[in-house]
Amino acid sequence: MKLVMLLEWWSGTECTLFTDQATIDQLGKEHVVIILNHNFEIDFLCGWTMCERFGVLGSSKVLAKKELLYVPLIGWTWYFLEIVFCKRKWEEDRETVVEGLKCLSDYPEYMWFLLYCEGTRFTETKHRVSMEVAAAKGLPPLKYHLLPRTKGFTTAVQCLRGTVTAVYDVTLNFRGNKTPSLLGILYGKKYEADMCVRRFPVEDIPLDEKEATQWLHKLYQEKDALQEQYNQKGVFPGQQFKPARRPWTLLNFLFWATVLLSPLFSFVLGVFASGSPLLILTFLGFVGAASFGVRRLIGVTEIEKGSNYGNQEFKKKE
């Protein structure tokens, strides 16, 4: 919630949806699986912002890499929010993922399950390797996306069928060819995010796993075409909607800032007023550890420091 507050109220980043009125009317009123492209360092934050604006941030879930579990604050919080973690090795993940998804099948509130089918963020190296794999499988090349990894999607739809009523495809871009970062948000830099949202009733997705896989590949070809159109025209197709910011993230931040910062300032003054070198050094060590934790959190969002997932084939060729 604090990160969403930074995006919406600190940096003032604008989010515009390109879709139709019927889809807008359904947002926040049904259980859904959401497919997001994975090209930007703050794409996850834009997804959370939309969850917040439609009142489902508290019940939003995601299939996340297990490394995030150990990131200070965010990883520990996600553990208690029933986030599904995976090692991204399907032989080891199948049981964990299926078990986690089954726990969500009777979720009492409207739930959004966010899914990055590409599995890792887009880089030129990963894209080249991915397209070699696509060619070997006889699949059409993608220009702006990696080849989707289909197991997570087909398993999610299979386990949640009967709970979710639709799949939302969301294609994200930023105006002015900006490459936003979490550090930019922390520095108060404003971005303009455009999100093309398409709704597919879950009945339209084939029951057969092979056919569902083909459906997902076709979807990514359409996403690629949408990105091409955006690059050429600067807009996505569809009507434009700007969901209003809700005050809850700001009010929540102000409340906790008031509750926590006043005694914190008193404590800091007491530490330095004590004149005890041991106490001061201990406090500075704690501040250093906290700073490291925050930097670690930022680091997992940086594309250039992303995982090697998707590069295995490249390494073998080297």
DSSP SS3 for 19: strand
Query: In the numeric block, which tokens belong to residue 10?
Result: 């600190």
Please count the other Cβ atoms lying within 10 Å of the Cβ belonging to residue 214: 14
The two most distant CA atoms of the chain are separated, in Å, by 71
DSSP 8-state secondary structure symbol assigned to residue 205: S
Query: In the numeric block, which tokens belong to residue 96?
Result: 């964990």
DSSP SS3 for 173: strand
Which class for 80: exposed (0-12), middle (13-18), buried (19 or more C-beta within 10 A)? exposed
For the entire predicted model, the pTM comes to 0.81
What are the helix (H) ranges across 12-139?
21-26, 43-53, 74-80, 90-104, 124-136
CB 314 within 8 A of CB 129: yes
The predicted pLDDT at position 79 comes to 64
Please count the other Cβ atoms lying within 10 Å of the Cβ belonging to residue 65: 16
Reading the chain (318 residues) residue by residue, the pLDDT tens digits are 677 888 888 999 999 999 999 999 999 999 999 999 888 888 888 888 999 999 998 888 877 766 666 665 566 666 666 667 776 666 767 777 788 788 888 888 899 988 889 988 888 999 999 999 999 999 999 999 999 989 889 998 998 998 999 999 999 999 988 888 888 888 899 999 999 999 999 999 999 999 999 999 999 999 999 999 999 999 999 999 999 988 888 888 888 788 877 787 888 888 888 888 888 888 788 878 877 766 666 555 554 445 554 555 444 443
**Smallest Cα–Cα separation from 54: which of 81, 26, 77?**
26
Q: What domains can you pick out in the chain, each with its CATH number?
A: 2-241 (3.40.1130)
Q: How far apart are CA 254 and CA 72, in angstroms?
A: 22
**If residue 64 lies in a helix (H) or strand (E), which one and from where to where?**
strand 60-65
**Smallest Cα–Cα separation from 20: which of 219, 229, 240?**
240
Beta strands 14-19; 239-241: pairing state: antiparallel
Which class for 39: exposed (0-12), middle (13-18), buried (19 or more C-beta within 10 A)? buried
Listed in sequence order, the residues at least 6 apart from 220 whose beta carbon sits closer than 8 Å to its beta carbon are 117, 142, 145, 147, 148
**Smallest Cα–Cα separation from 235: which of 191, 196, 190, 179?**
196
| Residue reference for tokens 């005050």 | 247
